[in-house]
A = this chain, B = another copy of it.
Amino acid sequence: MSEDEVLLQQLFEDDKLTEKQKKIILAAIESFSEKGYAATSTSEIAKKAGVAEGTIFRHYKTKKELLVSIVAPLMAKLIGPFIVNDFHKVLDHPYEHVEDFLRAAIQNRSDIIKKMLPVIKIMMQEIPFQPELREQFLEQVARKTFDRILLVIKEYQDKGQLIEMPTLSAARLAISSIFGYLISRYIFFPDSEWDDELEIERTVQFIMHGLSQR
């Protein structure tokens, strides 16, 4: 099984899709992430997928519906394990120190991003232009994640491990550092040699010292 098909399986494991439908989605992901949504034609997707153009519209009423059907499941994947696992653990106190939580959080996000990179690129590209995606992202991903992050930060602030600062500002600084690493690692310089463990540790230490009680 190819890497692409592994990616596909993880994103669409719960759905019952025909073989042609899977090929359409794979072809669309490839073209959308390479050329952008608007610059990709349905005929091109059909050709790459090895199906008739009409087959695309049998399963998806419009081209935009195809886009949404690709990006929407990713949002669930992005938010799901984050909320269910990480935060549950934190709020139930298995991570006594904020550093341990940070390490786990970055590692978690890192794995998902690595696997879903093309779809994430599509998502980031189209969110500014597709109100439907934008709304879904803000409500399902950003809002829920942010609320939880605020809780966690408050928790560690109360423990005296973090500096007293509006949690919003603290969250912004921590999130910037994490995404700065992920974006550098997987978007800007994916071909450089990375000692991931070391860079994650540096990022964690940077956040820790930057936000620690002085």
Asked if A176 contacts B180 (CB within 8 A), the reply is: yes
**A128 in the interface (beta carbon within 8 A):** yes
On chain B, the residues within 8 Å of A173 by CB distance are 177, 180, 202-203, 206
**Would you call A50 an interface residue if the criterion is a C-beta within 8 Å of the partner chain's C-beta atoms?**
no
* Cβ contacts A to B, 28 pairs, < 8 Å: A35-B129, A36-B36, A36-B129, A38-B39, A121-B128, A125-B128, A165-B202, A169-B199, A172-B180, A172-B184, A173-B180, A173-B202, A173-B203, A173-B206, A175-B180, A176-B179, A176-B180, A176-B181, A177-B180, A179-B180, A205-B210, A206-B210, A206-B211, A208-B210, A209-B209, A209-B210, A209-B212, A210-B210
Which of A177, A199, A214 has most chain B Cβ within 10 Å?
A177
Kindly state whether residue A207 has any CB partner on chain B within 8 Å.
yes
Q: How far is the CA of A199 from the CA of B124 in the complex (A)?
A: 26
Taking beta carbons and an 8 Å cutoff, which residues of A are in contact with B?
A: 35-36, 38-39, 121, 125, 128-129, 165, 169, 172-173, 175-177, 179-181, 184, 199, 202-203, 205-212, 214
Contacts of A128 in B (CB 8 A): 36, 121, 125
Contacts of A35 on B, CB cut-off 8 Å?
Answer: 129
Cα(A207)–Cα(B181), bound, Å: 15
Of A38, A175, A179, A212, most B-chain CB atoms within 10 Å: A38
A172 to B129, CA, bound (A): 29
What residues on B are CB-neighbors of A203 within 8 Å?
Answer: 173
Of A169, A202, A206, A214, most buried by chain B (CB within 10 Å of CB) is A206
Cα A184 to Cα B171 with chains together (Å)? 11
Q: Which residues of B contact A199 (CB under 8 A)?
A: 169
Q: A139: shortest Cβ distance to chain B, in Å?
A: 15
Q: How far is the CA of A116 from the CA of B184 in the complex (A)?
A: 24
- CB neighbours (8 Å) of A125 from chain B are 125, 128
- Chain B residues within 8 Å of A214, by CB: 209
